[in-house]
Structure formats: structure tokens, C-alpha cells
Structure 1
Amino acid sequence: MTLDATRILVLGGGNMGCALMGGWLDAGLDPAGLLVVDPYKGEALAALIGRHGFRYEAEVPRDFAADVVLLAVKPQTMGEALPPIRNAIDTGALIVSIAAGTSLAALAHHLGDLPMVRAMPNTPSLIGRGITGAFANDKVSSAQQAIAQDLLSASGPVEWVETEALIDAVTGVSGSGPAYVFHLAECLAKAGEAAGLPADLAMRLARHTVAGAGELMIRSDETPAKLRKNVTSPKGTTEAGLSVLMDEADGLPPLIEKTVLAARDRAIALSRD
């Protein structure tokens, strides 16, 4: 990581903030330039501090002028958490927010008209296998966008979108998407029980099937459609199952579309509250 003497303030030391910080520090970020502010030092944050020795404060100090501020607090606490950090931000400092449903306009209301990046990582970032969608406002320089890219890619690839509105669509697909996949594993396990398998065996089969198929998609150059066809023999068992799952009226395609749009629309509503 080539951030040189960049001073980074992280507001919020929860799981996602710790996942990103851990990636930065493992990649060579100097701990002396990192400050985490959180009223509560949880286990993950305490362990990270123990390994790397960076600065922690329960409240924003007056002696730290940040070049980059990562907002990693819950959206509902933004109104309370943001005003105290305004004095710790240098003029022109880069703001990177990973709070779902919080618009750049809402952030500017508290922090001023600054260079800002709105990003949506997902929970596989906790193990370095996430993906993040990001949007930069017109005040973000190319150098600042490169810094944001460097920071966000610590937990997986980063995809930049052209409009802020598309971040809500990213939220519906990849931000909320891991929960959909976890529920798929739940449903597979329940279906296995219905077919006569012991519950613990059905769950092991479901977990490994979902995880293995995901890893195969990442490692393969084939599209998901081609991978599906590769394991679907004519008139075989997989084709029989897919005939139900791929039904255009009652199958997975319309259900997933409704699911993603519902999550996107909720993200839009949150950003307007």
C-alpha cells in the first residue's frame, strides 16, 4: 500500500471498519498515521490494536488533522457522530463512507462540501473476499480516487459506478446479496431434510455446495450460465430440478428480481430520511 504519510481517521471500529483496517495494516500501512474513534472498543478492534498498535480514542481528539476520513458507523448514528469530526478534517480532506443508505448530500450537510466517495462493501470483506461498489463526487481528484481505490480494495475488488443512484442498485445486488446466498443454503438444507436427510448432514451438504460453487465461479473463466450448463445432463436430475427453479413465472428469476429491487428501493428510502 502506497499511502506514504497519509493520515487516516476511521470513525467506527465495528466489523467492517476492522476488516478494512486489517487489510491496510497487513498491506504495509504505517500504524502511526491511523486513528480510530469509537465510544466502544469491541473485541475485534481491541485485538487489531493489540497486533498493530495504532491510536484509539473514544472521542475525536483536537490534535489530529486527517487527510482521509472513513465513515464506518451505522447510518442511524450519523447525525450524532459526524459533527464532532468536522474540526479534525483538513480542508480538501477525502471522505469515504461505507454507510448504507446515507447520501453524499446528507454527509455534506454535516461536514461541508468536500471530496467524497460513497462506497458499498459487503460482508465477505471480513475474510478478504468482498466486493465494493463506489461512486466519487466531482470534487474527488484522480489522486484521491486512487487513494480510495487503494483503501477499499484491501478487502476485495472495487467497481466504480458513474452515478450515485447506482450505489443503491449495488446495495441490492452485492451489499445485501450475501444474505440471499445464506438463505439459499438454509433452503437447500431444509429441502434435504424434507427428502429424508438428517438435519446436520443436510446443512453440511448445503454449506459446502454453496461455498464450493461460489469459489468455482471465481476461479473459472466460464460464465455462470456456462457452468450451469456444464453440470446439466439432458433428462438428468439437475435438469429436473432446474425446470422448477428456472420457471419464468414462479421460479427464481422473477423472485430474485423482486428481491433486488426491494433492497434497492429501501436503500433509496433510507437516503431520503
Structure 2
Amino acid sequence: MAIYFLGGGNMARAIISGLRAQSADDEIFVANRSEDKNLILKTEFQVKTDFRLPENLSPDDVLILAVKPQDMKNALANVQHNGALIISLAAGLEVATLANWLGSQRIIRVMPNTPSAIGLGVSGLFAADGVSVSDCAIAEKIMAACGVTIWLNDEKMMNAITAVSGSGSAYVFYLMNALQEAAEGLGFADETARTLALNTFRGAVALAGQSGEDFFTLQQQVTSKGGTTFAALAKFEECEVADGLIEGVNAAAARSAELAQILRD
């Protein structure tokens, strides 16, 4: 089995990094127009690169679509997949749309996120009707090299997982940036403020992962009535920080559905 990437951007690179960390023996090819990216991928991951896919793909191969959704239709115009298993990373592009463009139902949609680059990603997967158990196992193995995998039974849930984990890293960085700015406002130097914010998040996530307690309980364990944490949380409630975050995630899900409709048309 060979793995072919159509597109060599950040997410393709993240998955290739995970695959190479898992095994140095996988045959990996990248079809990408950027010579600079090709050189980086060749040097760092020992993959073969070109600006187009070969015509000798077979049903035993995997074709990973890593092109931007709005560019996908043109990118697929001359693709000869020859029955290869198709894994699409394109947000919003539904199975039916891809099947129409490709003339194949052997499609699995994946929504990864950027921590996949260091093996700590979350990927949502949805298999089209008729995709075999063995095909699902192949997709599982590829994405598990990059982190946690969540299989979805309803394609509509791709919009939800896009909003929660696909975009979720940006929400965390947003909060980290706010905590850093708060630290700077209290008099810490930039680098010290960054260290405080980064390691506070790192420690909290590690503790949550090890403890098994729900997040609200962990929050309560740090909060004494009338204390400093209580004062901060009371202000967050006054500013409706949690409500704003939830509304933002819902807005992301709605936008994902809108983009799917645009791409469908």
C-alpha cells in the first residue's frame, strides 16, 4: 500500500509527521505545486514529491485529499484514482459532492486539528455508505498516528466536530493569549508572562487528564468562596465568558454547515 497526498500544506505535513514517527517504511508520495514545500517535505520526511499524481494508483493505495475546499474541484479535474481509498481532509466537502466529482463512493471524510503535528490531535472520521471495515481500519491507523480518533455515524456531525475540536485549538490559544496579556498588565515581562500562561494551561490539562474528575469539579477544587479564584470566576460570570465561548462554537458549526451548502452548490 502506498499513501498519496494531493496537496502538501500544514495538515498534510502534520499527518506525514505522525506516519513517519510511527514507521519509516511507509511509501508516501506528495503531489504539490510548491517547490519550496516539496524540498522541505523531501528533506524532513523522505517522501517523494511531484506537482501531479501518477496515473498508476491502484485499489490497494490511499489517496489523501489535502487541498483547500474551494480549490478541490479544480484539483480533482484530472485525477485518476483507479479505485484507491480516498480520505478527504477538506472541511465542508460532503461525501456526495466528492463522490460526484470523483465517480467513487470509497470515501472517508476526516476533520483533524493542528496538534496532529505533534501526535496530540483529535480527528473526527465519517465513512460513506459501502466503505468496508478494512478501509475504516486503514483510515484509523493513519489518523491514530496523529492522536485521538472519533468515528461519527452521521455526516452532519462533521460540522459539530469541526466547531469543537477542528477549530478548538484556536479557542485555547485565544484564552492563552488573554492570560498572557493579563500577566503583562500585572507587570510581568513578555517572556515570563508567556511562560506563566503556557505552563498554567499545560499543567491544568495534564491534571485533568490524570484525575478523571469532570472539569467543573476540578474548577471547584481550586475555588474557595470569597477567595482570589472566586473573584476571577465571578467576573467571568458577569462578563458571560462561558456563554460567549459556547455561542462562538455554535457559530463555527453554523458556518461549517453554510460552507457545506456553498460547496454543494
Normalising by structure 2, we get a TM-score of 0.90
Partner secondary structure for residue 82 of structure 2: strand
Contact 2:124–2:152 (CA under 8 A) maintained in structure 1: yes
1:38 aligns with 2:27: no
Matches within 5 A, 1:78-97: 78-85=72-79, 87=80, 89-91=81-83, 93-97=84-88
**Which range moves more in the overlay, 173-182 or 95-104?**
95-104
* Per-residue deviation, 1:51: 4.8
Contact 1:121–1:131 (CA under 8 A) maintained in structure 2: yes
* Per-residue deviation, 1:100: 1.3
Contact 2:163–2:250 (CA under 8 A) maintained in structure 1: yes
Q: Hey, what does 2:168 align to over in structure 1?
A: 177
Structure 1 pair 53/198, CA: closer, same or farther in 2 (3 Å)? closer
Partner secondary structure for residue 83 of structure 1: coil
Distance 1:8 1:47 in 2: 18
Fraction of identical pairs, as percent: 38
Distance 1:48 1:54 in 2: 6
**Which range moves more in the overlay, 45-54 or 231-240?**
45-54
Structure 1 pair 22/201, CA: closer, same or farther in 2 (3 Å)? closer
1:68 aligns with 2:59: no
Q: Hey, what does 1:12 align to over in structure 2?
A: 7
* Per-residue deviation, 1:34: 2.4
Q: Hey, what does 1:207 align to over in structure 2?
A: 198
**Which range moves more in the overlay, 209-218 or 45-54?**
45-54
Contact 1:172–1:263 (CA under 8 A) maintained in structure 2: yes
Q: Hey, what does 1:269 align to over in structure 2?
A: 258
Contact 2:33–2:51 (CA under 8 A) maintained in structure 1: yes
Distance 2:194 2:2 in 1: 45
In structure 1, list runs of 5 or more residues that go unmatched: 1-5
Q: Which amino acid aligns with 2:119?
A: G
Contact 2:6–2:31 (CA under 8 A) maintained in structure 1: yes
**Which range moves more in the overlay, 149-158 or 234-243?**
234-243
What are the Cα deviations for residues 80-128 of structure 1, in whole angstroms up to 9, with x where unaligned?
111222x1x223x321111112211221121013221111111111111
Distance 1:167 1:271 in 2: 10
Partner secondary structure for residue 157 of structure 1: strand
Structure 1 pair 155/41, CA: closer, same or farther in 2 (3 Å)? farther
* Per-residue deviation, 1:214: 2.3
**Which range moves more in the overlay, 176-185 or 188-197?**
188-197
1:27 aligns with 2:22: yes
Contact 1:14–1:42 (CA under 8 A) maintained in structure 2: no
Partner secondary structure for residue 129 of structure 2: coil
Distance 2:237 2:24 in 1: 47
In structure 2, list runs of 5 or more residues that go unmatched: none
What are the Cα deviations for residues 150-175 of structure 1, in whole angstroms up to 9, with x where unaligned?
11111101001111110101011111
Distance 1:149 1:230 in 2: 37
Contact 2:18–2:116 (CA under 8 A) maintained in structure 1: no
Q: Hey, what does 1:163 align to over in structure 2?
A: 154
Distance 2:113 2:168 in 1: 8
Q: Hey, what does 2:184 align to over in structure 1?
A: 193
Distance 1:254 1:51 in 2: 43
Q: Hey, what does 1:137 align to over in structure 2?
A: 128
**Which range moves more in the overlay, 217-226 or 9-18?**
217-226
Distance 2:203 2:66 in 1: 31
Distance 1:46 1:215 in 2: 36
Q: CA RMSD, aligned part only?
A: 1.9
* Per-residue deviation, 1:8: 1.8
Normalising by structure 1, we get a TM-score of 0.88
Structure 1 pair 42/169, CA: closer, same or farther in 2 (3 Å)? farther
* Per-residue deviation, 1:256: 1.2
* Per-residue deviation, 1:52: 4.7
* Structure 1 stretches of at least 4 aligned residues deviating more than 4 Å after TM superposition: none
